[in-house]
Amino acid sequence: MTKPLTNAEENPHAGKGSSVLLDIGDGVGAIVITMPADLDDAEIERRPTGCTTETPTNASHNHGHGHGHGHGHDEHRRGFPHVAVVPRPAADGELVYSAVFFDVPEGSYELYLMPDGPVQLTVDVTSGNVTEATWPQ
């Protein structure tokens, strides 16, 4: 009998600053946020701008965050998508701390530290584009 591979066994660099493949286009974009180093491993959550409900927009999907565990969003208070801040190597060899949201439907989003803010950034995502932003210091 063989045991299933965990994410770490499949890719030991997953979530630890490895490259990110962004599949964008046809109503979907991505958000890349440059983060301060002191927020390493913090989780950034995004919600549609103006959303005041605590009902998740994308409630029950499973994924890993790069912080040592994967889970469905219904294991959290809300189900808004969130990602961990991780260091990633830049082209010049320096480490850049970032949070990357992929597969983001076109629209406007508020970004904040989990669990509940305050909102630090508002970004607009357009189809087929990567929205880049810098987290306030």
CATH number at residue 26: 2.60.40
Q: How confident is the model at residue 19 (pLDDT cuts 50, 70, 90)?
A: confident
In a domain, 115, yes or no: yes
In a domain, 1, yes or no: no
| Predicted local distance difference test score (pLDDT) of residue 85 | 97
Residue 17: inside a domain, yes or no? no
Domain that holds residue 117: 22-134
In a domain, 6, yes or no: no
Query: Taking 60 as the threshold, does the pLDDT of residue 8 lie above it?
Result: no
pLDDT in tens, 95-116: 999 999 999 999 999 999 998 8
Q: How far apart are CA 113 and CA 119, in angstroms?
A: 8
Give the CA dihedral 90, 92, 94, 100, nearest 10 degrees.
-10
In a domain, 129, yes or no: yes
Structural domain contains residue 48: yes
Give the integer Cα–Cα distance in Å for 44 and 81.
9
Question: CA-to-CA distance for 49 and 124, rounded, in angstroms?
Answer: 9
Total domains in the fold of the chain: 1
